[in-house]
């Protein structure tokens, strides 16, 4: 009789907490897993109390996933080493900026036989270039690491709305075990072996998520009540930034200023996908096209471009003229945005290889985020996209 496997979750943000709900329930249904799930929580005070104490008494992460109860067998632990020391399976689910620091803290303090899965979207940057997050985990901790990515907005998953996800795992037996740990009747999993492409899709889609919303902002605008959209359109002569700073102050609903709305957004999603495929071919050859058709690919792109945080913050960025860090602070209540840093990270690689021209969408997004390019120039960048030549 083998011992039940102990599971630890490293991270407890919006997605980490939604996953804790799923995993906490699933371990109770299978003899393969120990019933207690330790969850590393980056300690902070919320309403004068420690977040770990709130989670362990109220069984809810009231800061990052308000309104969704966690199973009582999920135990919040403020020390990463204590959370992971005895674990057989480590689930990494925190913003990508913190991974290296956490792994360095865990070095020498986990079981050598442990295995991991990363749910993190983004890249690690170091002096030699970009690295996959799963690879940081593999190399820093000397353990195997699979990945899980998909069209998964955390609050919807926590609300048990039907959705899908993709696990990328080279080892079939480990893949089956992971599917048992994550799949529920509302969260359906497909396991594929092409784990690098699954992870690249998750990292790259955030950039396209930003661009989708620049489209919304350039071609739609708020119109003061009682005025006709066309009149407003012809009256305004300022830059989009200027228009939006002013128009937001008047506050009213959106209209489709030039009538380009959803067709244009669809074109951006398509061009974004083409750049994702090209990026994989160029820098990580061997991807299967079929992987892009899984939840981690096209589906995640669509969900992020319509419903994600990257989309929301990018919209406010164009409308208000405020900086991205400012908006992140104002709008996300401690949650963190992955798209702008990922766009910057990708740009380092493209610039170093003199390849910015071949990735005009990725490049324009980065330049808009750092205010090197005005948002209304975005479409010009796409008109001469290599896909149309
Ligand atoms: N939220 C979603 O809908 C969603 C869905 C799928 C995938 N993801 C991905 O999952 C990953 C985690 O995202 P999330 O939404 O759970 O996190 P989040 O955006 O809610 O991030 C906040 C988390 O970071 C922690 N934190 C802050 N400073 C820290 C530090 N110095 N060290 C360690 N932790 C610190 C906070 O305590 C909190 O738990 C990201 O890569 C994201 O792209 C998110
Ligand atoms: O809210 P976003 O933009 O980080 O996207 C969330 C998820 O990645 C969607 O799958």
Ligand 2 center to 163 CA (angstroms): 13
Q: Which of 139, 169, 193 is the last residue in one of the domains?
A: 193
Q: Does position 220 have pLDDT exceeding 80, yes or no?
A: no
Q: Are residues 229 and 340 in the same domain?
A: yes
Distance CA 68, CA 344 (A): 34
Measured in degrees and rounded to the nearest 5, phi and psi for residue 78 equal -80, -10
Ligand 1 within 6 A of CB of 93: yes
Residue 257 pLDDT > 80: no
The pLDDT value given to residue 215: 55
Q: How far away, in angstroms, is 180 Cα from ligand 2 center? A: 24
Distance between CA atoms of residues 157 and 309, nearest Å: 15
121 is in an annotated binding site: yes
**Chain centroid to CA 205: how far?**
8
3-state SS class at 374: coil
Looking at the structure, do residues 216 and 340 belong to the same domain, yes or no? yes
150 labelled binding-site residue: no
- Other Cβ atoms within 10 Å of 278 Cβ, number: 16
Distance separating the N- and C-terminal Cα atoms of the chain = 63
Give the domain extent around 373. Answer: 199-388
Same domain, 164 and 302: no
CA of 97 to the centre of ligand 1 (A): 9
| Element at 222 (helix H, strand E) | strand 220-222
Residue 157, helix vs strand vs coil: helix
Mean pLDDT over the full length of the chain: 85
Phi (first) and psi of residue 131, to 5 degrees = -140, 145
What confidence category does residue 243 fall into, taking pLDDT thresholds of 50, 70 and 90? Answer: very low
* 95 vs 335: CA distance, rounded Å: 9
Report the C-alpha gap between 20 and 274 in whole angstroms: 34
CB contact at 8 A, 206 and 296: no
Q: Tens digits of per-residue pLDDT, 373-388?
A: 887 777 788 788 888 8
ipTM over 0.85: yes
pTM of the model: 0.90
pLDDT exceeds cutoff 90 at 11: yes
| Tokens, residue 171 | 């080892």
What pLDDT does 323 receive? 86
User: Are residues 230 and 295 part of one domain?
Assistant: yes
Mutate to test the pocket of ligand 2, among 155, 156, 304 (most ligand atoms within 8 A of CB): 304
Q: Whose structure tokens read 């009538």?
A: 259
Which residue is catalytic, options 38, 63, 205, 319? 205
Q: How many percent of the chain have pLDDT more than 70?
A: 86
DSSP secondary structure code for residue 78 in this structure: S
The answer to whether residue 205 is catalytic is yes
Q: What is the pLDDT of residue 159?
A: 98
The reported pLDDT for the residue numbered 373 is 84
Is the domain of 95 the same as that of 170? yes
Task: Tell whether the model's pLDDT for residue 15 goes beyond 90.
Answer: yes
- Give yes or no for residue 308 CB within 6 A of ligand 2: yes
- Other residues' Cβ atoms within 10 Å of the Cβ of residue 293: 11
Instruction: Evaluate if residue 259 carries a pLDDT over 50.
Output: no
Tens of pLDDT, residue by residue over 17-62, are 999 999 999 999 999 999 999 999 999 999 999 999 999 999 999 9
Is residue 225 located within the same domain as residue 265? yes
Of 152, 170, 193, which residue is a domain's last?
193
d(CA 219, CA 140): 46
311-358 residue pLDDT tens: 788 888 877 888 888 999 999 999 988 888 888 888 888 998 999 999
Which residues share a beta bridge with 60?
Answer: 69
If phi > 0 it is left, if psi is from -120 to 50 it is alpha, else beta; for residue 160 that is: left
Verify that 139 and 226 share a domain, yes or no: no
pLDDT digit string, tens, across residues 126-172: 777 789 999 999 999 999 999 999 999 999 999 999 999 999 999 99
221/346 same-domain check = yes
Q: Confirm if 385 and 361 have CB atoms less than 8 A apart.
A: yes
- Does 224 share its domain with 158? no
Mark whether 159 and 272 lie in a shared domain.
no
Domain of 172: which CATH number?
A: 3.40.50.720
CATH number of the domain residue 286 falls in? 1.10.1040.10
Q: Is the CB of 63 under 6 A from ligand 2?
A: no
Distance, CA of 120 to CA of 16 (rounded, Å) = 10
Assess whether 172 and 271 both reside in one domain: no
Residue 163 to residue 184: CA distance in whole angstroms: 10
Which phi and psi angles does 98 have, rounded to 5°? Answer: -100, 0
Confidence (pLDDT) at 316: 83
Whole-number Å distance, alpha carbon 93 to ligand 1 midpoint, is 7
**193, 223, 254: which is the final residue of a domain?**
193
Same domain (yes/no): 249, 165? no
Place of tokens 């594929």: 192
| pLDDT over threshold 80, residue 69 | yes
Q: How many domains in the chain?
A: 2
């Amino acid at each position: 009789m083998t011992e039940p496997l102990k599971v630890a979750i490293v991270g407890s943000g919006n997605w980490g907490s939604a996953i804790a709900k799923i995993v906490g329930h699933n371990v109770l249904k299978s003899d393969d897993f120990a019933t207690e799930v330790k969850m590393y929580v980056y300690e902070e005070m919320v309403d004068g109390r420690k977040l770990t104490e709130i989670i362990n008494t109220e069984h809810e992460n009231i800061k990052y996933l308000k309104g969704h109860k966690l199973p009582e067998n999920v135990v919040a632990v403020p020390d990463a080493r204590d959370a992971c020391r005895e674990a057989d399976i480590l689930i990494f689910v925190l913003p990508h900026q913190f991974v290296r620091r956490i792994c360095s803290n865990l070095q020498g303090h986990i079981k050598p036989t442990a295995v991991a899965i990363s749910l993190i979207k983004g890249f690690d940057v170091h002096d030699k270039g970009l690295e996959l997050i799963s690879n940081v985990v593999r190399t820093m901790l000397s353990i195997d690491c699979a990945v899980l990515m998909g069209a998964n907005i955390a609050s919807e998953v926590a609300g048990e709305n039907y959705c899908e996800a993709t696990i990328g795992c080279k080892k079939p037996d480990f893949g089956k075990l992971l599917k048992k740990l994550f799949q529920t009747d509302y969260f359906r999993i497909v396991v594929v072996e092409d784990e690098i492409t699954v992870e690249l899709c998750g990292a790259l889609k955030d950039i396209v998520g930003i661009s989708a919303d620049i489209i919304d902002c350039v071609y739609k605008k708020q119109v003061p009540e009682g005025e006709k959209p066309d009149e407003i359109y012809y009256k305004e002569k300022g830059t989009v930034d200027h228009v939006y700073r002013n128009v937001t102050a008047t506050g009213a609903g959106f209209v489709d200023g030039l009538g380009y709305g959803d067709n244009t957004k669809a074109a951006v999603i398509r061009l974004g996908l083409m750049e994702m495929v090209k990026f994989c071919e160029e820098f990580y050859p061997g991807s299967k096209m079929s992987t892009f058709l899984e939840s981690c690919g096209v589906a995640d792109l669509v969900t992020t471009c319509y419903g994600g945080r990257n989309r929301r913050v990018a919209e406010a960025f164009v409308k208000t003229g405020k900086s991205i860090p400012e908006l992140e602070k104002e709008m996300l209540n401690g949650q963190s945005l992955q798209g702008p840093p990922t766009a910057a990270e990708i740009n380092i690689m493209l610039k170093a290889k003199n390849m910015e021209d071949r990735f005009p969408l990725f490049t324009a997004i980065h330049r808009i985020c750092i205010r090197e390019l005005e948002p209304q120039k975005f479409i010009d960048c796409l008109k001469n996209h290599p896909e149309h030549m």
